[in-house]
């Protein structure tokens, strides 16, 4: 049976740390300039050629390539200015205990540079990357800088959370559960009365499980990601696992998108490789949907065709096929079980949704499918 | 801010209104265009001077209303310190009544004939009183109509009103009605005059409303108020008999000796002993009948053989020296014209340290660049302010030159002449600035045809005593030292133009790069100030000097054409 394990990390949110790092950054630059040196910012390079898969920790990690952004270089100066603008903004946010969305951060820092027709930021697509740069440079999460990601996802189950002055049990907030905020850094877990967390891709499936009283009966915490897991949700999963010892089980559609969701929860993403250590949960396991489920539960007539051209056809592979082939190459999917699932998907050319299980009966997923698979530990790594 | 009252302490009165009636022409009131410009000049220079002394960033508005044929109303309004009520009649009614008139100071209005001259001109041509509205920012605004009583050399307030001043308005507005003048947009007219004034005073915001209602704004391009010039004691080599005589009459010192020591620069007690010997020698030489002997002795005196000459006269010399010593001990107001003459003559033979120059206030290279850039919008601009020099052995002066090229300039050569920042619009041909500018071999500096080049040259000559060619004060006399300084300054500026022209594109590129960096400095400084708590201004300075350093040499900057973010391994 799945049970809570010993915690491996401690609650570690410390706004002073962020402030100190920002101040240090400012002081270093000032010192350079004071000495008549060309000041620069060292920013770990983003993109595929600077990420690698850490076989030991089993997460996607950022390499050590750096871009050096010099003030005295005309091509860098604007970014240099933007980075410092955001850094100063973050300092104010954190020291005032306020939070802002990425959009707000954009608007707060956008203005016309005196004496020119140029704006400090022309578009949010300019400010977002600068925020990511700061995260990479300082090694702190955007959330720790009080910049909130989009909020998506909710939680339902017998756990008690403290959010500032509020304390509540997420199974007592109605069927909708507790909406995960953009930032979960400051959230504290007061009481945990569940044995594991079940991460569910679709809201429809999460709602079904809640209605069937699955969380109570199975002592499970439902975490609905509503598609790709937001940073807040991923961070929450990470913290629940490492700080509270909760095993993590992921339940998605049986298709390349669902598996990708699993893969980012587990290993981190290429975009956010620098944050893998804080966002990824390599110990997460996968319950379904798998290709094997189709055979085992007789769901053949509720599958759907994969989109795109298969690899053996002219012009292929495209669409879903292409995604699956890419995923087959992921280092963390280099296990017998996963290779088998992915190969079957390619062979059969089908996908299977979570909600296809309703074909059996509404309760089937809550009463039979999940409890059985989890109890028998029929889980993919 | 210097209080208006303090400025007025130095008020002195001279009696010459009659003189004006007869000499209007000499004072700038000749010709229909020039007379109008002169009226505006008197009012505007006063506004700028007053603001400068009071430490106010000037805002001057000039309005020319056409009332009829060759009949105008001229309105000049400023945000200066205002004029205290009891001085109104003095300021506007008495000739040579200025606060600056008797101070040895570099000033725009140099002889104090100033604004009362304009009042007089209005009175003579239109018969109308000048309307003055002024407030020192206190509770009331004074509105007064001023006329001049020509016989008594006295201002008369024809009508006076007091208004409450709820908004605390401060400044002076004068309205003069004049006839026999003409508003034309020529290079002798008001428009051109104000344009040149704006260039030389980038700290001033100047507006002009032309008779047809068109508003022209010469915006401020510098926030820095020039330091007011300081008074400098005259140098013995820079004075004439009249100066010594006049100064002796009004000094508070009780002996001629003390008067000379305290009111002139470079005269010490020891110099007085020397002066006594020289005056004695001059008296002895003048007593000689034979012209040949006289000349020979004078020549020897000029070589400094004063002791030898005196010795050759024996006891007679001793007696004369005693007399001169006595002269030095008498009260200065008893100094006769002839004695003043002797003193000045002796000064000519003597050697003195060069005069102090600290009182001169150039526009400054940076401000000339700002002024030329702000008003003319050239593509290239540079300025040279030469160190102060001395002419006629005792009069300090300083030359500055600004050069603007290309951009929005028309393809013709323009010479903007200034004396103590005041534009000179007339008699260009006789002016040392014109001669010096023309004497330069422009071809050597890549300017093939000066008259068709998009080139504007600004020349400002500043001095406590600018040597004008005439009382009209519109052209500067050809003093060797001044001529040489102007040439040196022009050649330096022209060399920079040449460098620019030969590497025009390369330079342009550099300038653009520099600007790109500079524009981010305020943003960066603010952010770093928030991050570190250091003052923004200081951070700004660091960055500005960093940029300056980088662009010091073009070559160095060109060595780093790498524009992409450099990848480095950590
Ligand atoms: N607009 C003004 N604001 C303040 N004071 C003024 C103004 N115009 C004139 N004055 C005062 O009146 C004096 C006389 O001016 P003016 O006759 O032009 O002689 P000058 O300018 O040579 O001193 C000035 O020195 C100044 O003290
Ligand atoms: Mg004047």
DSSP string, A316-376: -S-HHHHHHHHHHTSGGG-SHHHHHHHHHHHHHTEEB-GGGGGGT-TTHIIIIIHHHHHHT
Q: Report the separation in Å between the CA atom of B55 and the middle of ligand 2, taken as the mean of its atom positions.
A: 17
- pLDDT confidence tier of residue B74, bands split at 50, 70 and 90: very high
Q: What is the pLDDT of residues A53-91, one digit of tens each?
A: 777 777 777 777 778 888 988 878 999 999 999 999 999
Interface contact flag, B569 A23, Cβ < 8 Å: no
Place of tokens 């140099």: B110
Interface contact flag, B560 A73, Cβ < 8 Å: yes
Place of tokens 């079940």: A198
User: Which token pair is A32?
Assistant: 């350079």
Place of tokens 């950022």: A62
Question: Residue B98 has what pLDDT?
Answer: 45
B162 touches chain A (CB under 8 A): no
B534 touches chain A (CB under 8 A): yes
Average pLDDT over residues A261-279: 81
Q: Domains in chain A and their CATH numbers?
A: 15-148 (1.10.10.10), 154-375 (3.40.1360.10)
- The yes-or-no verdict on residue B562 having pLDDT over 50 is no
- pLDDT confidence tier of residue B563, bands split at 50, 70 and 90: very low
Interface contact flag, B565 A36, Cβ < 8 Å: no
Q: What is the pLDDT of residues A174-200, one digit of tens each?
A: 988 999 988 888 899 999 999 999 999
Pick the most confident of A46-50, A112-116, B78-82: B78-82
Question: Residue B510 has what pLDDT?
Answer: 76
What is the nearest CA distance from B558 to chain A, expressed in angstroms? 12
Residue of B nearest to A23 (CA): B531
Q: Within 10 Å of residue A146's Cβ, how many Cβ atoms?
A: 25
Average pLDDT over residues A289-296: 94
B537 touches chain A (CB under 8 A): no
Of A44-53, A146-155, A206-215, B262-271, the least confident? A44-53
- pLDDT confidence tier of residue B250, bands split at 50, 70 and 90: confident
Q: For a substitution probing ligand 1, which of B1, B98, B103 has the most ligand atoms within 8 Å of its CB? A: B98
- Residue A225 backbone phi and psi in degrees, to 5: -90, -25
- The yes-or-no verdict on residue B290 having pLDDT over 70 is yes
Which residue spans of chain B are classified as CATH 3.30.230.10? 366-570
**pTM for this one?**
0.53
Chains A, B: CB pairs < 8 Å: 107
Given A42, A68, A77, which is nearest B520 (Cβ)?
A77
Question: Residue B117 has what pLDDT?
Answer: 86
Nearest to A153 by CA among A202, A98, A119: A202
Distance CA B421, CA B403 (A): 16
- pLDDT confidence tier of residue A151, bands split at 50, 70 and 90: confident
Interface contact flag, A113 B530, Cβ < 8 Å: no
Q: What is the pLDDT of residues A227-251, one digit of tens each?
A: 889 889 999 999 999 999 999 999 9
Question: Residue A271 has what pLDDT?
Answer: 66
Q: Whose CA is nearest to atom 14 of ligand 1?
A: B98
Distance CA B191, CA B198 (A): 11
What is the nearest CA distance from A25 to chain B, expressed in angstroms? 8
User: Which token pair is A331?
Assistant: 């280092």
Q: What is the pLDDT of residues B528-559, one digit of tens each?
A: 999 999 999 999 999 999 998 887 754 443 43
CATH for B366-570 (3.40.50.2000, 1.20.1440.230, 3.30.413.10, 3.30.230.10): 3.30.230.10
Q: Report the separation in Å between the CA atom of A190 and the middle of ligand 1, taken as the mean of its atom positions.
A: 80
Topology given in CATH for the domain delimited by B2-218: Heat Shock Protein 90 (3.30.565)
- The yes-or-no verdict on residue B12 having pLDDT over 80 is no
> DSSP state, A201?
S
Report ipTM for this prediction: 0.70
Q: Whose CA is nearest to atom 21 of ligand 1?
A: B109
Interface contact flag, A74 B513, Cβ < 8 Å: yes
Distance CA B348, CA B352 (A): 10
Interface contact flag, B546 A38, Cβ < 8 Å: yes
Instruction: Using alpha carbons, list the distances in angstroms from residue A57 to A272, A281, A335.
Output: 16, 10, 16
- The reply to whether ligand 1 has any atom less than 6 angstroms from the CB of B81 is yes
Q: For a substitution probing ligand 1, which of B3, B11, B114 has the most ligand atoms within 8 Å of its CB? A: B114
Distance CA A74, CA B86 (A): 61
Average pLDDT over residues B44-65: 94
- The yes-or-no verdict on residue B2 having pLDDT over 70 is no
Which residue spans of chain B are classified as CATH 3.30.565.10? 2-218
Q: Which distant-in-sequence residues (6+ apart) come within 8 Å of A335 by Cβ?
A: A380, A381
Q: Is B291 helix (H, G, I), strand (E, B) or coil?
A: helix
- pLDDT confidence tier of residue B103, bands split at 50, 70 and 90: low
Average pLDDT over residues A367-375: 94
Question: Residue A231 has what pLDDT?
Answer: 87
What is the nearest CA distance from B524 to chain A, expressed in angstroms? 6
Average pLDDT over residues B451-463: 95
> DSSP state, B230?
P
Question: Residue B105 has what pLDDT?
Answer: 59
Cβ A158 vs Cβ A181: under 8 Å: no
The secondary element (H helix, E strand) that includes residue B141 is: strand B140-149
Mean pLDDT of chain B: 87
Residues having C-beta closer than 5 Å to ion ligand 2: B 46, 109, 114
Q: Report the separation in Å between the CA atom of B100 and the middle of ligand 2, taken as the mean of its atom positions.
A: 8
Query: B300-331 burial by CB neighbour count: b if 16+ within 10 A, else e?
Result: bbeeeebeebbeebeeebeebbeebeebbeee
User: Which token pair is B366?
Assistant: 């940076």
Check A107, A260, A262, A297 and give the catalytic one. A107
- The yes-or-no verdict on residue B257 having pLDDT over 80 is yes
Q: Whose CA is nearest to atom 11 of ligand 1?
A: B91
Distance CA B384, CA B490 (A): 8
Question: Residue A330 has what pLDDT?
Answer: 85
- The yes-or-no verdict on residue B383 having pLDDT over 60 is yes
- pLDDT confidence tier of residue B275, bands split at 50, 70 and 90: very high
Distance CA B544, CA B150 (A): 59
Question: Residue B20 has what pLDDT?
Answer: 63
- Cis peptide before B334, with omega less than 30 degrees from 0? no
Average pLDDT over residues A125-134: 90
Nearest to A230 by CA among A297, A198, A183, A173: A183
Residues of A in contact with B564 (CB under 8 A): 75
Residues pairing with B455 in the sheet: B405
Q: What is the pLDDT of residues B146-164, one digit of tens each?
A: 998 877 777 889 999 999 9
């Amino acid at each position: 049976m799945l049970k809570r394990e010993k915690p491996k990390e401690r609650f570690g949110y410390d706004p002073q740390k962020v402030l100190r790092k920002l101040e240090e950054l400012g002081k270093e630059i000032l010192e350079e300039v004071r000495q008549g040196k060309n000041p620069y910012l060292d920013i770990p390079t983003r993109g595929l050629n600077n990420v690698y898969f850490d076989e030991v920790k089993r997460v996607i990690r950022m390499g050590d390539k750096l871009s050096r952004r010099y003030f005295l270089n005309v091509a860098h100066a604007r970014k240099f200015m933007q980075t410092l603008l955001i850094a100063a903004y973050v300092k104010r946010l954190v020291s005032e205990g306020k939070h802002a969305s990425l959009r707000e951060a954009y608007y707060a820092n956008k203005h016309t540079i005196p004496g020119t027709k140029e704006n400090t930021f022309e578009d949010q697509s300019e400010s977002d990357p600068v925020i990511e740069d700061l995260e990479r440079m300082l090694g702190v999460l955007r959330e720790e800088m009080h910049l909130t990601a989009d909020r998506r996802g909710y939680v339902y189950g017998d756990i008690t959370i403290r959010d500032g002055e509020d304390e509540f049990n997420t199974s007592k907030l109605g069927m909708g559960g507790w909406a995960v905020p953009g930032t979960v850094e400051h959230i504290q877990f007061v009481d945990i009365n569940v044995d594991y967390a079940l991460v569910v891709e679709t809201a429809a499936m999460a709602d079904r499980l809640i209605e069937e009283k699955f969380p109570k009966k199975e002592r499970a915490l439902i975490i609905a990601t509503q598609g790709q897991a937001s940073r807040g949700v991923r961070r929450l999963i990470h913290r629940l696992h490492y700080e509270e010892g909760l095993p993590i089980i992921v339940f998605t559609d049986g298709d390349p998108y669902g598996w990708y969701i699993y893969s980012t929860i587990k290993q981190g993403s290429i975009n956010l490789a620098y944050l893998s250590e804080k966002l990824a949960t390599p110990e997460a396991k996968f319950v379904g949907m798998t290709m094997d489920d189709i055979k085992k539960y007789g769901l053949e007539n509720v599958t759907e065709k994969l989109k795109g051209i298969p690899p053996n056809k002219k012009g292929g592979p495209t669409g879903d096929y292409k995604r699956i082939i890419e995923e087959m190459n992921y280092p963390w999917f280099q296990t017998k079980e996963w290779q088998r699932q992915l190969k079957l998907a390619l062979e059969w050319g089908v996908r299977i949704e979570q909600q296809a299980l309703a074909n059996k009966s509404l309760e089937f997923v809550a009463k039979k499918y999940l409890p059985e698979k989890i109890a028998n530990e029929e889980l993919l790594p | 801010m210097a209080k208006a009252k303090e400025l007025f302490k130095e008020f002195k009165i001279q009696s010459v209104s009659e003189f004006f009636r007869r000499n209007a022409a000499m004072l700038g009131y000749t010709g229909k265009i020039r007379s109008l410009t002169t009226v505006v000049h008197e009012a505007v220079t006063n506004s700028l001077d007053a603001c400068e002394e009071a430490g106010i960033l000037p805002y001057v508005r000039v309005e020319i209303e056409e009332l009829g044929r060759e009949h105008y109303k001229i309105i000049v309004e400023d945000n200066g310190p205002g004029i205290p009520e009891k001085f109104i009649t003095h300021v506007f009614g008495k000739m040579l009544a200025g606060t600056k008139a008797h101070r040895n100071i570099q000033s725009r209005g140099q002889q104090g004939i100033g604004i009362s001259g304009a009042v007089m001109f209005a009175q003579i041509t239109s018969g109308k009183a000048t309307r003055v509205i002024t407030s020192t920012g206190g509770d009331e605004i004074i509105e007064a109509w001023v006329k001049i009583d020509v016989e008594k050399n006295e201002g008369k307030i024809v009508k006076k009103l007091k208004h409450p001043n709820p908004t605390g308005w401060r400044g002076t507005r004068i309205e003069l009605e004049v006839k026999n003048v003409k508003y034309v947009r020529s290079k002798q007219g008001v428009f051109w005059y104000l344009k040149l004034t704006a260039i030389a005073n980038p700290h001033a915001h100047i507006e002009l409303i032309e008779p047809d209602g068109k508003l022209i704004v010469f915006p401020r391009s510098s926030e820095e108020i020039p330091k007011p010039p300081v008074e400098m004691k005259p140098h013995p080599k820079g004075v004439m008999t009249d100066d010594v005589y006049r100064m002796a009459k009004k000094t508070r010192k009780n002996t001629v000796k003390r008067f000379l020591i305290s009111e002139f620069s470079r005269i010490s007690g020891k110099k007085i002993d020397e002066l006594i010997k020289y005056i004695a020698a001059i008296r002895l030489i003048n007593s000689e009948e034979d012209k040949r002997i006289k000349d020979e002795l004078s020549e020897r005196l000029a070589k400094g053989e004063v002791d030898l000459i005196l010795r050759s006269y024996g006891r007679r010399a001793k007696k004369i020296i005693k007399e001169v010593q006595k002269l030095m001990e008498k009260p200065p107001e008893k100094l006769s014209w002839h004695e003043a003459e002797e003193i000045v003559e002796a000064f000519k033979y003597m050697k003195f340290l060069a005069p102090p120059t600290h009182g001169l206030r150039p526009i400054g290279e940076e401000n000339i660049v700002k002024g030329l850039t702000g008003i003319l919008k050239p593509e290239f601009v540079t300025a040279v302010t030469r160190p102060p020099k001395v002419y006629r052995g005792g009069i300090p002066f300083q030359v500055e030159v600004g050069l603007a090229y290309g951009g929005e300039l028309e393809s013709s050569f323009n010479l903007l002449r200034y004396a103590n920042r005041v534009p000179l619009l007339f008699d260009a041909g006789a002016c040392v600035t014109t001669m010096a500018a023309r004497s330069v071999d422009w071809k050597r500096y890549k300017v093939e045809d000066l008259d068709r080049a998009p080139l504007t040259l600004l020349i400002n000559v500043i001095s406590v005593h600018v040597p004008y060619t005439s009382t009209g004060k519109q052209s500067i006399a050809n003093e060797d030292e001044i001529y040489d300084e102007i040439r040196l300054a022009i050649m330096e500026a022209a060399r920079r133009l040449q460098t620019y022209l030969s590497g025009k594109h390369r330079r342009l590129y550099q300038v653009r790069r520099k600007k790109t960096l500079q524009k981010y400095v305020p943003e960066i400084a603010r952010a770093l100030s928030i991050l570190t708590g250091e003052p923004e201004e200081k951070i700004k300075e660091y960055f500005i000097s960093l940029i300056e350093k980088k662009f010091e040499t073009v070559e160095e900057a060109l060595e780093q054409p790498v524009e992409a973010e450099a990848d480095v391994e950590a």
